[in-house]
Structure 1
Amino acid sequence: MTPAPTIVPAVPPEAPLAMPVQDLSRWSEADGHRPAAHPTPTLARLFVFGGAGLLTAYGAVQMYEVVSVAGSTTALQWLLLLLFTLNFSWIALAFTSALLGFAALLRRRGPDPAPGPLTTRTAVVMPVYNEATARTFAAVEAIRESIEVTGQGAQFDYWVLSDSTQADAWIAEERAFLALRHKLGDGARLYYRHRPKNHHRKAGNIADFVSRWGGHYDRMLVLDADSLMSGDCVVRLAAAMQADPDAGIIQSLPLIINRNTLFARVQQFAARIYGPVIATGLSLWSGRDGNYWGHNAIIRTRAFAAHCGLPDLPGKPPFGGHVLSHDFVEAALIRRAGWSVTMLPDLPGSYEESPPSLIDIAVRDRRWAQGNLQHARLIGTAGLKLPSRQHFATGIAGYVASPLWAAQLVVGVALALQTAYIRPEYFPSEFRLYPVWPRFDPERALQLFGLTMGILLAPKLFGLVLALLDRAVRRASGGAIRLVLSALIETLLSALIAPIAMLIQSGSVVQILLGRDTGWNPQRRDDGSIPFRDIVRRHRWHTILGLVSGIAAFAIATSLFLWMSPTILGLVLAIPISWASGQLTYGLALKRLGLLMTPEEREPPAVALRAAALQAENAARGFDDADALGAIQADAALRRAHVAMLPASPPRRRGSVDAERVLAQAKLAEAETAAEAAAWLSPKERMALLHDAALVDRAARLPA
């Protein structure tokens, strides 16, 4: 009898790191890292925040002059002034930060020299959650190959950390892992771990890895399932952390690639042309007090373990429970402990993908909105650096801005209605000889509108100017004329989408304030359209509101209708805009015309081309197409490997019953065939079966 082949463990022996839960109410500097003295970007911060403050003050004064032309100001006018000032401060800060980045990029220096040898080890970790296996394992293999080309591959290990809750996705991951490790041979340095429960979601997934195997590694490079990074980029990140003993997190700037729908191509173009300006400004004023976006960044493992254990917040979601947007919090906590958080916005070779349609990004945005608003409970954490609190405030403001904008529009309409139809206030609180009419200074209002639009659009202009001045970027984007046309198309589409996004975000904020929790569904990453009936259902109220607003504004005053026309048009066209956003046809048509092109699209990075080829190979193997139970039953080697990869079952408490496992066991006992068992088992029962070696064996012995 031939003995069964030896099964290589899917993970190395554990090397635990303690990851204590952090106390958010107390902090002592003595508990942290003692860094060397580093300069603070005081002048950059003074320019950004001082400039934004001066601009906001000027805008507020001008708005006051607009609404107080009659010499008196009503309550509604004061409210309009307040809302305008809050909204204006938000765009003023974005403007001054982008202006700082623009000035710095005009003096752009050449590329840094190649890094020297790495002497410490790095884990490249990719957390996955019910993702397309063909894509994720292609990305891991392509990144690994690219790192090997640098000659420093021996310093890197590769981990796929699965939190998948669907049986088919889990077994597909195991099949892809086993196939890739067999392909790579003995020196694969490739590992796979599946968690039985996705406790605390991605943050818990990373924390589980750090607390069990983090001791093997000096650093970890955290990816998302749609991340790609060139070997040179990864090695430079590792070298940057090796050269800086005080670095805790170093964040790269991921560019969007591989997108073909209209909406995704607009995002791809905007991120490539405008993104570096915004990111450079942010990097300059943040200095060593930067932020972390949760992926495409390198982290000092022991510092992360010591200071980034996240507590559960008191109460229920959406404001209580586990920390949803964990990345901002981890950056703040590791900075609190004395480690720096920096960004390298000019480091090439970092990529990601984006949702393919307006509805898809709205689904993701709902989750981000809840996470950012939850930071209102964390902004007062003891010991945080002031810039970390600013990052929290900026994230909160990014979502609060939408209902504030909506409120400003409502108040503006109410004032116009008051002016047109409501009689004056003949008896104000103070004595006057004449009634108080709510009036405006139209000329000054037009000037203020022009200033607001200029400040709002300036970051786009900065990015366009830089792209036009860069010969390589200009040519790769189709030349100067096509680049300008692309910027105009992006600006027009963004203007039409903005009021729709405003209402979606406003609705999300209201739902969160009412206590409604969001789920955590996997992100739809592939190109493709959404059924038209779902689009109509999602946007019908936006369209109705646009029509009602347009009719009402026109009835009140033609000037009001013209003032609101961009918002009205975007809402009235919400359904066709959303439908068109997910269409490949329109995106590819613009691509054929050379519009919305980016350098990475004209000349795709080698790692992206390799990942696409590997993805096609993986898809041909059908990893994502097979039924989990059928695959386990048909392949004895896969079954043995699956059982070997199962974690040790925790001891069962007396009196406790795993209902899904008991039901799965009962259905297996009654089923006469594997097909019958598969038809009877619910998704949770399938997962319970696959977590139990005895039930896996029993299912395998059923006839097909």
Structure 2
Amino acid sequence: MDGVTLAKTAETGAGPAADAAAADFACMPAPAPLEMPTQSLSSFDPSSRRRDVLSHPWLGAAIARLFVFGGCLALTAYGAYEMYGVVSVGGVTLLEWVLLILFVANFSWIALAFTSAIAGLFWLLFRAPPAPATPAALRERTAIAMPIYNEAPARIFSALEAMIEEVDGSGLGGAFDWFFLSDTTDPDVFLAEERAYVALRERVGAKANVYYRHRPKNVNRKAGNIEDFVTRWGGRYAHMVVLDADSLMTGHAIVSLAAAMEADPDAGIIQTLPLIINRNTLFARLQQFAARIYGPVIGAGVAVWMGRRGNYWGHNAIIRTRAFAAHCGLPTLPGRPPLGGHILSHDFVEAALILRAGYGVYMLPTLAGSYEESPPSLIDLSARDRRWCQGNLQHLRVLSAKGFRLASRQHFITGIVAYVASPLWMLQILVGVVIVLQATYVRPEYFTNDFMLFPTWPRFDAARSLQLFALTMAILLAPKFMGLLLALLQRRTRRGCGGAARLVVSSLFEIVMSALLAPIMMLIQAGHVLHFVFGFDTGWDPQRRDDGSIPFWAIVRRHRAHVALGVVMLIAGFMIAPSLAAWMSPTIVGLILAIFLSWSTGLLGVGLAFRRAGLLLTPEEQSKPPLVARANELARKSPDEEGAPLGDRRFWRLHLAWLPQDLKRGEITADWAIAKAKLDEAKTREEAFAAMKPRERMAMLGDRDLVARLLLLPPAAETASAPAG
């Protein structure tokens, strides 16, 4: 810019005025960089692994692993033996061998969940420690980091404000700094975030240090967002608690995590077990209820056999900052997406890397006060599941990395199998149908070239088949009934779910709905796997978090193929054998009702009706935790401000002060150039803003020069009031 423009820009708030605003209202603390070198997956020196400072018990985890994996192996061997007995009547054909292999693969998956749940139930009944007391003091500083991406600002800023109030109420607020780490790409949301941040700073005052950073380029998504924070400011903090945009954690949970990390110098990551809250559609309430009733048993089981070689789920956990920086720099995988490029499910890999370095990773499953939200509908869950599917399949590329612990490799395999299981289940059904079809319509070849006296013909032991089916269903449903048993034994949980009778009815209803929704999710996940196998990448859309329905015709388009397949399976089943249709009836019914189920479970009114009837209740819903109630109250009082504050001089001074330095040569984009041209042509700020497309507005908002040009234009109100001529 020339001297005249610079002088005019200074009058609007850029230059020295903006620097003064930055000093008075700094959006970030002084830099304290940490190096975060990229880690190698192809080489590792075992001698570089650190040794524990303290002695940690290991026998309990070893016994739990022996029980869980030994029991899983024994059950799988028994299931394979029984299945072989089912198909071996009269000899085993090639298709029957395929059916046997697919059955064993699927059966082993549910057997592992069964034995893990037994370990969790036993631990919760007899070995669970009492809840930790709130510490009297903390020695070190902790950053609370919330990465955000095109979220509703009122909700997330209110959530963090409620957490700040609780931590401050513990008397330990001085040990924490709070960060919004924005990767937002929507210009309207970006401006709303900054306005919400200014309002929050003014409300919080001296209670806490609250900061906001917007990243101009959201490289490597959430993992890159956290890496940017660590490499620029991580040196100020011994630990960081990483949240998601839908996270809530009580003050007790946050300070307890910090105290646990201070007491354990060998810990690298300590993970909590979040509960789902604030959900109202029927679909989301089913997830909320299942997580509350069955989740503790499943989570405790995983925590018991993992021990100190556990996993990280990317949020509601505390991390040792310097260890993370030194050992968790993620490499870029060779090749193109979906299996190449930056690592999507970064949390599993970060846990594996910090374990490889010699630190512990473990879960505190009984630490209360950790919450999250869930998608409101089946289609929303499918969109999130698509990203998770790609991230877990990507782990095929890191599974054989040098130096990883056996437990880490098992975590990767578990995540991969969780998605591969759907196409395997679908293949098992199809192979079974083909075998029945062959037995019904294809005549045996009595005189083959092998001169066999009798033909090899697919036959089944019907009685044994029914027994094996009953065993499979029992193992599949047992973790749910274990969770129900525990809930019935816990007085607070039982009462919070509406009493024993309503708790049992709600559990049975959830089981039925899970059975109906399972075949739909099977096809969705199988489609995701095939999508990525054929080389298609997924996008990065913000998650729809609010309750509400998706347009009906969008639901029809999404599920019409599922309904068609269900009808075909029903007709084919009856044409082949009525017994086959009866055997496949749970799958057939779920698919035929796919549109109705997806639509009805996504309706807010249906979910609220169940709540009024006292079904699918959770204790946190009956007696809302003060933190959750406070966050919801603040969100109601602070609706998102719409539109650009084009006439707010103070806001633009702060916005300019918080922006990075002017663009360097070579960083000018087409969007920047078009935005500049439209600014030069516009007569008012409103005209310029309205003329720009979202990408152009975002380019303008991220550049000091262009913002200054915008502010040199008069507001429309001034133009209208100016005298004619």
Smaller-chain TM-score bracket: over 0.9
Structure-1 residue corresponding to 2:702: 691
Percent of counterpart pairs with the same letter? 60
1:634 alignment partner in structure 2: 647
Give CA deviations for 1:495-551 in whole Å, capped at 9, x if unaligned: 100000000000000000000000000000000000001000000000000000110
CA shift, 1:703, in A, is 3.5
Summarize deviations over 1:461-502 as a string: whole Å, max 9, x none.
Answer: 000000001111111111110000000110011110000000
Partner residue in 1 for 2:605: 585
Moved more, 675-684 or 304-313: 675-684
Whether 2:111 is the aligned partner of 1:92: answer: yes
Q: 1:416 aligned to 2:427?
A: no
The whole-number CA distance in structure 2 between the counterparts of 1:634 and 1:232 is 42
Give 1:599's aligned residue.
619
Alignment-derived partner of residue 241 in structure 2: 221
Deviation at 1:8, TM superposition (A): 1.7
Deviations 1:554-592 (A, max 9, x none): 110011000000000000000000001211111111101
Q: Distance in 2 between matches of 1:109 and 1:197?
A: 45
- Equivalent-residue separation in structure 1 for 2:430 and 2:269 (angstroms): 43
Asked if the contact 2:647/2:715 (under 8 Å) is kept, the reply is no
Amino acid at match of 1:93: L
CA drift of 1:427 comes to: 4.6
Q: What does residue range 257-336 of structure 1 map to in structure 2 within 5 Å?
A: 257-336=277-356
Alpha-carbon distance between aligned partners in 2 of 1:344 and 1:442, rounded to the nearest angstrom: 46
Moved more, 469-478 or 448-457: 469-478
Aligned partner of 2:581 in structure 1 is: 561
Structure 1 residue 677: deviation in Å? 2.0
Any conservation in 1 of the 2:661–2:704 contact (CA below 8 Å)? no
Which residue is 1:31 aligned to?
Answer: 48
Structure 1 vs Structure 2 CA RMSD: 1.5
Partner of 2:539: 519
Q: Which amino acid aligns with 1:695?
A: L
* CA distance in structure 2 between the aligned counterparts of 1:664 and 1:31, rounded to whole angstroms: 52
* Structure 2 residue 656 is the aligned partner of structure 1 residue 643: yes
CA distance in 2, matches of 1:42, 1:504: 37
State the Cα deviation string for residues 334-353 of structure 1 (Å, max 9, x = none).
00000000000110000000
Q: Which amino acid aligns with 2:678?
A: K
Partner Cα separation in structure 2 for residue 358 and residue 647 of structure 1:
41
Please report how far the alpha carbon of residue 657 of structure 1 lies from its aligned counterpart in structure 2 after TM superposition.
4.1
Letter in 1 for 2:241: L
Name the counterpart of 1:574.
594
Q: Is this contact kept in 2: 1:428–1:436, CA < 8 A? A: no
Where does residue 101 of structure 1 map in the other structure? 120
1:310 partner amino acid: L
**Residue matched to 1:454:** 474
CA–CA distance in 2 between the matches of 1:303 and 1:110? 29
SS at match of 2:147: strand
1:16 correspondence with 2:33: yes
How much does 1:460 deviate? 0.1
1:663 corresponds in structure 2 to: 674
CA distance in 2, matches of 1:658, 1:584: 43
Q: Counterpart of 1:81 in structure 2: which amino acid? A: L
> Which secondary structure does the structure 2 equivalent of 1:185 belong to?
helix
Structure-2 separation of matches of 1:427 and 1:271: 58
Query: CA–CA distance in 2 between the matches of 1:193 and 1:429?
Result: 76
Give me the whole-angstrom Cα distance separating, in 1, the residues matched to 2:511 and 2:133. Answer: 37
Q: 1:140 aligns with which of 144, 157, 160?
A: 160
Could you say which residue in structure 2 is the equivalent of 1:80?
Answer: 99
Q: Which amino acid aligns with 1:550?
A: L
Q: TM-score, normalised by structure 2?
A: 0.94
Secondary structure class of the residue paired with 2:589: helix
Aligned-pair distance for 1:110? 3.3
Q: CA offsets, 1:104-148, max 9 Å, x none? A: 112144333333411010000100000000001001100110111
Cα distance in 2 between the residues matched to 1:65 and 1:169? 62
| 8 Å Cα contact 2:82/2:464 also seen in 1 | yes
| Aligned ranges 1:2-401 → 2 under 5 Å | 6=21, 7-36=24-53, 37-40=55-58, 41-70=61-90, 72-107=91-126, 108-401=128-421
Which of 672, 687, 696 is the equivalent residue of 1:676? 687
Residues 654-688 of structure 1 deviation map (CA, whole Å, 9 limit, x = unaligned): xx642111110101111223333223211111011
TM-superposed deviation, 1:694: 2.0
Contact 2:168 2:208 in 1 (8 A): no
Q: 1:618 maps to what in 2?
A: 638
694-703 vs 301-310, which deviates more? 694-703
Question: Is contact 1:116-1:239 (8 Å) kept?
Answer: no
- Structure 2: stretches of 5+ with no match in the other structure: 1-10, 717-725
**TM-score when scaled to structure 1?**
0.97
Q: Does 1:548 align with 2:561?
A: no
How far residue 429 of structure 1 moved from its aligned partner, in angstroms, is 7.3
Q: How far apart are 1:187 and its partner, in Å?
A: 4.6
Contact 2:50 2:359 in 1 (8 A): yes
Alignment match of 1:402 (pick from 410, 419, 422)? 422
Give yes or no for contact 1:146–1:231 (8 Å, CA) kept in 2. yes
| Alpha-carbon distance in structure 2 between the residues aligned to 1:38 and 1:544 | 56
- Aligned-pair CA distance for 1:412: 0.4
State the 1:634 CA deviation.
Answer: 1.5
Letter in structure 1 aligned against 2:693: S
Give a deviation string over 1:209-252, Cα, whole Å, max 9, x none.
Answer: 00000000000000000000000011111111111010000000
Secondary structure of 2:218 counterpart: coil
How much has 1:431 moved relative to structure 2? 4.6
1:693 shift after superposition? 1.5
Q: Cα deviations across residues 324-369 of structure 1 (Å, max 9, x unaligned)?
A: 0000000000000000000001100000000000000000000000
Match of 2:721 in 1: none
Q: State the Cα distance separating 1:428 from its structure 2 match.
A: 5.6
Q: Shift of residue 436 of structure 1? A: 2.1
For 1:160, what is the secondary structure of its paired residue?
Answer: strand
Q: Which amino acid aligns with 1:12?
A: P
Distance change (3 Å), C-alpha of 1:219 and 1:79: same
Q: Write the distance in 1 (CA, Å) between the matches of 2:192 and 2:507.
A: 42
Q: CA deviation at 1:35?
A: 1.4
Secondary structure (helix, strand or coil) at the match of 2:583 reads: helix
The one-letter amino acid paired with 2:351 is A
Q: Using the alignment, how far apart are the partners of 2:662 and 2:442 within structure 1?
A: 73
Distance (whole Å) between structure 1 residues aligned to residue 451 and residue 72 of structure 2: 38
Residue 6 (structure 2) aligns with: none
Q: Could you tell me how far apart the structure 2 residues matched to 1:34 and 1:618 are?
A: 50
Residue pair 1:121, 1:156 contacting (<8 A) in 2 also: yes
